[in-house]
Amino acid sequence: MSLDPFNDDPFLILGLPEYVLEHEITRKWKQLVFSTHPDKNNGSTKNVQLTQIYNNAKERAIEQLPRKKWLRELYHTERRDPEKDLKDAEEARIRYEARYLHQEKEKEEKAARLREQEGFKKYCDELFEKTRAREQKEQEERERRKQAALARKHRKKWTGEKFQDLEMLVREFVEQHVTLEEKTFLSCQGIKKAFVEQHTIQDLDEGFFFRKFKSELAKKHDTTKWKNHTFRGRKGYKGISLV
C-alpha cells in the first residue's frame, strides 16, 4: 500500500500519542524540524521534503485536537504510562518514515530508468532518422551523377551524321522486317546479326542500336515490353520474329 504522509495520521508522522496537548505537538515538531531543516542540512531534497511533511503534520494534528478530547479524558481515567506511549509512538514514526523513504527511493529509481529508456529510444530514433536521411541523400546523389554521366555519354557519343543515318536504318528495319509473333523467340544477338548482314555495317554501336530498336518497336507495337531473355527453347515464348 502506498504511503501518503500529507494525508496519513499526523500523530503517527510526528511520533506522538493521540491524547497529547498542543504544546507537546509543537515541542516534538521543533525537534523533528531541527534535524531536517534545509538551513541545517545544505538543503537536500530529502530534508526539504521531510520538513514539509512535519509542517503539514503539525497543522493537521492541532486541527484535530478538539476531536481528541475524549482520548485525553480516557488517559487520565486509565492512568496510562506516558513514557511507554511516547516510546511506542516514536518507534512507529521511525518505521513509517523508513518505509516512506524506501518508497520514494523506488519511485526515483523507476523514474530514472524510464528517463534512461526514453533517452535511449530518442537517441535511436534520431540516429535512425539521420542514417535514413544520409542514405536517401547519397542515393539521390548517386542517381544524379548516373543521369549526368549518361547525359554526357549520350551527348558525346551519339551525335553526328553517323548516328542520324543509323537511326533511319533502324526505323526502316523495324517497320519492314520486324513483327511480334506467339511461340517464337529471337535473341538480341540474332537481331543484331540480321541487321548487320542486311546493311553490311562493320562497327555497330550496340547501345545506340538497341535503344533505337526498342523505341521504334514500341511505336509499331504499343504493347511491346522490352526484356532480356535466356534462350531455353522455342516452346511457350512470345518474342520477336524477323520477316
Per-residue pLDDT of 2-38, as tens digits, reads 888 888 889 899 998 887 888 888 999 999 888 876 6
Q: Would you tell me how many other CB atoms lie within 10 Å of the CB of residue 236? A: 9
Q: Is 237:186 a contact under the CB 8 Å cutoff?
A: no
Q: Quick one: pLDDT at residue 235? A: 46
Note the residue count of the chain: 243
**How many angstroms separate the CA atoms of 171 and 5, rounded?**
94
CA distances from residue 7 to 3, 4, 54, 221 in whole angstroms, order as listed: 9, 6, 12, 87
On the question of pLDDT at 221 being above 80, the answer is no
Q: What is the pLDDT of residues 200-210, one digit of tens each?
A: 777 788 878 88
More confident residue, 66 or 127: 127
What the block records as the C-alpha cell of 175 is 517497320
Q: Is 235:183 a contact under the CB 8 Å cutoff?
A: yes
pLDDT, average across residues 236-240: 52
**Which residues neighbour 38 within 8 Å (Cβ) at sequence distance 6 or greater?**
44, 47, 48, 51
